[in-house]
Structure 1
């Protein structure tokens, strides 16, 4: 691609091409193709297009007791995700700090057919039965070999169904995400209008991937209440590969550090439980406040704790909500705490997509590159990665973390992990990823 001269203007610069990250099986992502996007949803005698459009506009919803989609033949297994509206909280009774409202899609069956022509006729068999579901977003995997249609058949109240998605899981896809969070996520990831979701942004950058994304923010919840309801999180969102976690604003409320150890212990419990169920947690740094409005700021000890938890547990790096919103307080609401509707939620989606992009650059076939291995990944053969370097310097030799942040010219004192190493080899710039053991 011919963009190997790394002269940065300002604090950040862009490498053309990018680093193919050397991953391990723990972080490798196998695509699961979205097969329902834009398809008509049949609700009896009518059809809708907003149930499969991928947008978050919450004034478009359905309360039909039967909703059918024809995704065509081919997939042997489907993951079917759905989201309901309510007040946008994932669960209504996980916290005592706020009252939440909404009717979950609670008691229903998923049926499949190979010969229907309109979602009503033909032969149908039961693929799944859901009883007493209490959450507003969930996914269920079903057998689909030889079928072309599936439909929801509800027995009770339906509530407001926002979106239905179906993903081809025939190859054992692992591109599945649950966004656990507080009201920051409830308002930013789900409720606000955005230009694109994290999943859409990832797909735009890595077309082979269409992430299955469940939004799980709950206003007022803190890490203690998450741990108290951890069995329910695992029951209803434990069949995904990744948990994208935004947690800590309510634990750190007021700016003190009196609750720090409880927060650390709770996050470690969440991490351990997720890993025990084959889930990889990705933790965001706690969002900054606008202290001029809120009257307080996140205590730095909480940020240091998040960074240490990520490093000690060998987790992928999450987005830095603190750094970004500290620099952009105009994207926070009048309370100085929550993302606003005028770009705040959009920024959160973009920050998540940027942070997760290195995992997709790995792909599902990359092999680890060990220290001393002479094989380098040529930056002309891979995708775009943003790299931060010292202001005004030309960096031809250096070590960067997987988000592209400059760490210096040596990794001798760095902890174990994977790093981007930038070198000048035979007169040209080459990037490779090394695993320090």
Structure 2
């Protein structure tokens, strides 16, 4: 049986979280480091482990963008910050003290006239982004004053239209390993772009080994300072809070997560929370207490958040993707790769809904009820998927795969009571219901 009403409610506000694209304009461009150029700093492959320690790195992205978001990622030991937790020691040199300069007339990244667009001082984290004015310019460059560490990647995104497709992946060692350290066929951002070509997500990776929710709250002001300009926080948190399988720390975890949610929302950030990854209890000797999973589900529902990936159910069914400790994703069996794919599948409904950030729902539409969307019944029977209810002002109902492939679209011109999609293969799908200036999405699984 499908995830019906509950799943619809969990993504019931997808329209209000509409994502405005921000085009990647630096992909594959040569990065000029003095007399030489590199291609690995802009190749999008965040696990190629090729890095640069050049004090000046320049890119010519061409004229056009009025504003750029410039992201960078450094290596270190793959932890986002080195001193946020007492449980593990982390090391690495962040890109700390530097300027970002712009030019309209340089020919090689060295000559020409340059203006300071941003000055960054005492930056302690390994991944971050800043927005700069770029009208009339074609080049930007990093000019560092001290040790730059090992820079893995530099990305520039056109923010002229006020893009909101920016993501920070907050997490524990599960994310430090799975999202950053381990090889993958594609990152979450690349998977989204493959299915929704209009979008090129800006993706910053922020896993920290040993961190728990209390330590995140202790450093929340620093998270907000360094990635408070990111519009979505993709959060994997709870393994260290729930360590050992008991529930003694549950109330603290719930309180901390609510603080994180409230603080993010207050800064215009939408949190998307993953269900805590399952352990291989035969190896770890313990399993996540169900109370923590219930708590995550309740936090998502009560805070009206988009639904994150279900790491628990997936890794419970696939313990071979966990390492010998039974807790962390296994690089050799593609545990980290699975995390990227699960994040992409969970975020797909937000992209399938389209760019709704500038749309205002029509207050007269019958899709609305008491300030929220009326919920039709969406369910699967056998190989058929049904949408039932008051569809008076619905203009179309679309079915896409979990990663965005169009399956079928039905235009509605009268008061249908039911829409049916027949002979659908087994799998998870997204139902997109469109009305005048209103969009709703829901997930449903056909078996």
TM-score by length of 1: 0.83
Shift of 1:373: 3.3
| Equivalence for 2:223 | 233
Report the equivalent of 1:222: 212
In the alignment, which residue of structure 2 is the partner of 1:413? none
Residue of structure 2 aligned with 1:351, choices 338, 342, 366: 342
Q: Using a 3 Å threshold, how does the CA distance of structure 1 residues 403 and 228 change in structure 2: closer, same or farther?
A: farther
- In the alignment, is the contact (CA less than 8 A) between 2:165 and 2:202 conserved in 1? yes
Aligned residue for 1:231, secondary structure, equals: helix
CA distance in 1: counterparts of 2:114 and 2:348, whole angstroms: 40
Q: What secondary structure is seen at the aligned counterpart in 2 of 1:47?
A: strand
Q: 2:28 aligns with which of 15, 31, 38?
A: 38
Shift of 1:306: 0.1
Structure 1 residue 279 and structure 2 residue 280: aligned?
no
Corresponding residue for residue 352 of structure 2? 361
Q: What residue is the counterpart of 1:432 in the other structure?
A: 433
| Aligned 1:368-379 pairs, distance under 5 A | 368=361, 373=366
Aligned-CA RMSD value: 2.8
Following TM superposition, by how much is the alpha carbon of 1:432 offset from its aligned partner in structure 2, in angstroms?
2.6
Secondary structure of 1:244's partner?
A: strand
Structure 1 regions of 5+ residues with no counterpart?
A: 1-10, 14-20, 376-386, 406-421
Give the conservation status (yes or no) of the 8 Å contact 1:85–1:136. Answer: yes
Q: 1:369 to 1:322 in 2, by over 3 A?
A: farther
1:318-356 C-alpha deviation (Å, 9 max, x unpaired): 000001000111111111100111311110000000000
Structure 1 53/431 Cα, relative in aligned 2: closer, same or farther at 3 Å?
closer
Unaligned segments of structure 2, at least 5 residues: 4-10, 369-377, 390-398, 403-415, 423-430, 442-447
Local SS of the residue matching 1:164: strand
Secondary structure in 2 matching 1:262: helix
TM-score by length of 2: 0.82
Aligned to 1:382: none
| Corresponding position of 1:206 | 196
Q: How does 1:13-24 map to 2 (within 5 A)?
A: none
| Alignment: residue pair count | 389
Q: Find the counterpart in structure 1 of residue 444 from structure 2.
A: none
Change (3 A) 1:259 1:340: same
Select between 366-375 and 208-217 the one with higher mean Cα deviation.
366-375
SS of the residue corresponding to residue 163 of structure 1 reads strand
SS at 1:52 equivalent? coil
Contact (CA 8 Å) 1:178, 1:216: kept in 2 or not? yes
Shift of 1:388: 8.1
Change in CA separation of 1:58 and 1:388 when aligned onto 2, cut-off 3 Å: farther
Larger RCO (alpha carbons 8 Å, 6+ apart): 1
Give me the whole-angstrom Cα distance separating, in 2, the residues matched to 1:136 and 1:42. 21
1:181-330 equivalent positions in 2, closer than 5 A: 181-330=171-320
